[in-house]
Structure 1
Amino acid sequence: MKAPDGLQPLIDDGVIDQVMRPLKSGKEASVYVVRSGDDVRCAKVYKDLGQRSFQQRVQYQEGRKVRGSRDARAIAKASKYGRKQQETAWKNTEVEALYQLRDAGVRVPKPHGYHHGVLVMELVVDADGHSAPRLGEVELSPGQARGFHRFLVRQVVKMLCVGLIHGDLSEYNVLVAPDGPVIIDLPQVVSAAGNNAARTMLLRDVNNLTASLGRWAPELLDTWYGEEMWALYEAGRLRPDSELTGVFAHDDSNIDLDAVRHAINDAREEALIRQQGREAAASAD
């Protein structure tokens, strides 16, 4: 296919040799399958500032470090320069997170560089070499669901141990490769120590995974891994290999257990609705 404008500079510089096909397009970015020498990879082209909304990102950006006091002041004032720097920081966040998480042993796509505002990274494929499906697109046995849940909870723990929370983790940004789940889409990654909503986002991430995989293994819906790992994190006792049980003693005076369970069920229902919507759209095509 003809190279999109955003990828032509990478061809000119020899970073990639060919744009093979589009992979997906979302509100934040478009992803293409590209060839680089003998390797097939993917390239993530972020949408322009005018096509995206900063209003939805305010909560995610709290606690992020900004290079230089001038940039920080400009971003706070929402000046033209500040918005440009905010846009740059938003893109850089995913790149930096990928390298940091790979070093921490988290299963995310291997990054292959950031060129002209484009992230080049591993193309996650299935056993036949095709683009890997999302977690919400595969049928699982109860044993597979329990295994995936165990693996993904461990990835969340590893992320938290380096001070990061995905912030938008669900069955839609987990791919299923032959060696297991791969976590993708990290531009909204949250600082665990610097964001006041960190705990809420962590619990939402874990609850989303639990609700999705609980369709195949309902006993997962009675676990509390998010609360357990956050309590260990706050106490300074969370380690990448910490043994978790999924059991957590709630302080009934400070938490509405029914509300928490309803939130998990709501996430599960939302996941089912979205899946039905995708199936309906695919049938229409």
Structure 2
Amino acid sequence: MKTPKRLLPLQEEGMIDEVLSQLMSGKEAIVYVVRCGDQIRCAKVYKDASQRSFKQAAAYQEGRTVKNSRQARAMQKGTKYGRKMQEEVWHNAEVDALYKCAAAGVRVPIPHICFEGVLLMDLVSTEDGAVAPRLNDVALSHAQALVYHEELIYQVVLMLCAGIVHGDLSEFNILLNEQGPVIIDLPQAINAAGNIGAASMLERDVNNLRSYFSQFAPELAHTQYGKEIWKLFAAGLLTPETVLTGKVAQDKRPVNVRAVVEEIELARQEAEERQRYLESRQPEY
């Protein structure tokens, strides 16, 4: 096929030799199958922010930082340069998450380079060389559903032990080949310790898995792996070897509303003080 405009720089630099086909077009990127020498890989072309349909991007960017103070200020002010930096941070977040996940033993595509808003990475394929199907497109037996659910819960634990929450995990961004499920699409991955919404995002990811697999294995419908995993993580007790039950004991103690309000007010004051401190450190131009 004709080389798309966004892939021309990679072809000119010799990073890819041929564009074979378009694989998919999603809410945040278009993915192409490409040939790199004797290797078949995929090139993920990120859409511009104005074209992306991914919602609530700000919630996922919390905790992401840049070392350059000028870039950080520009991003905060929303200048043209700042928006460009935000796009780079968005793209690099997936590359960083993929490398960290791979190092932790999570089954993800191996990235090779991110250049001009294009991520070049391994193509997840089956043993006969075909592109691996999405989990959503595969009919599962009861036994398969239980096995894949267990495998994916373990992958979620590995990610969290590496400090990462996927943030948008579902049957639509999991591929399946002979070796098992492979997790894809991580530009919205967040730092578990640096994002205030990490607990709810982790639980949502796990509940998405529960909702899908319980169609084939109804006994999964009432499990609480998300709550259990986060509770162990918050207590510093979660490891890849942790045995999970999918059950969480209910806390029946009455809620201390006054204490909660005081905690919220304290957090607000600390945030304001931190903002004033950061503003006081900005150099004058």
Q: What's the TM-score, normalizing by structure 2?
A: 0.86
**Which residue matches 2:96?**
96
**Does the Cα contact within 8 Å between 2:27 and 2:54 map onto a contact in 1?**
no
Q: 1:148 to 1:23 in 2, by over 3 A?
A: same
**Does the Cα contact within 8 Å between 2:164 and 2:189 map onto a contact in 1?**
yes
Structure 1 or 2, whichever has the larger Rg, is 2
Q: Report the Cα distance in structure 1 between the residues aligned to 2:189 and 2:254, rounded to whole angstroms.
A: 28
**Which residue matches 2:41?**
41
Shift of residue 103 of structure 1?
Answer: 0.6
**Which residue matches 1:17?**
17
**Which residue matches 2:210?**
210
Of the structure 1 ranges 11-20 and 109-118, higher mean CA displacement relative to structure 2 is found in: 109-118
Task: Give runs of aligned pairs for residues 209-228 of structure 1, distance below 5 A.
Answer: 209-228=209-228
Shift of residue 164 of structure 1?
Answer: 0.7
**Which residue matches 2:31?**
31
Shift of residue 78 of structure 1?
Answer: 1.1
Shift of residue 102 of structure 1?
Answer: 0.4
Q: Report the Cα distance in structure 2 between the residues aligned to 1:218 and 1:52, rounded to whole angstroms.
A: 35
Shift of residue 176 of structure 1?
Answer: 0.7
What is the CA RMSD across the aligned residues, in angstroms? 1.6
**Does the Cα contact within 8 Å between 2:27 and 2:53 map onto a contact in 1?**
no
Q: What's the TM-score, normalizing by structure 1?
A: 0.86
**Which residue matches 1:169?**
169
**Which residue matches 1:179?**
179
Q: 1:49 to 1:247 in 2, by over 3 A?
A: closer
Shift of residue 50 of structure 1?
Answer: 3.1
Shift of residue 160 of structure 1?
Answer: 0.5
- What is the number of equivalent residue pairs in this alignment? 255
Q: Report the Cα distance in structure 1 between the residues aligned to 2:15 and 2:113, rounded to whole angstroms.
A: 9
Shift of residue 127 of structure 1?
Answer: 3.8
Shift of residue 128 of structure 1?
Answer: 3.1
Of the structure 1 ranges 120-129 and 174-183, higher mean CA displacement relative to structure 2 is found in: 120-129
Q: 1:191 to 1:254 in 2, by over 3 A?
A: farther
* 1:213-247 alpha-carbon deviations (Å, 9 max, x no partner): 11100101121111111011001111122111112
**Which residue matches 1:67?**
67
Shift of residue 114 of structure 1?
Answer: 2.0
Task: Give runs of aligned pairs for residues 188-267 of structure 1, distance below 5 A.
Answer: 188-252=188-252
List runs of 5+ in structure 2 lacking aligned partners.
256-285
**Does the Cα contact within 8 Å between 2:165 and 2:191 map onto a contact in 1?**
yes
**Which residue matches 1:159?**
159
SS in 1 for 2:112: strand
* 1:145-195 alpha-carbon deviations (Å, 9 max, x no partner): 011000000010011011110000000000111100000000000111111
SS in 2 for 1:193: coil
Of the structure 1 ranges 111-120 and 224-233, higher mean CA displacement relative to structure 2 is found in: 111-120
List runs of 5+ in structure 1 lacking aligned partners.
256-285
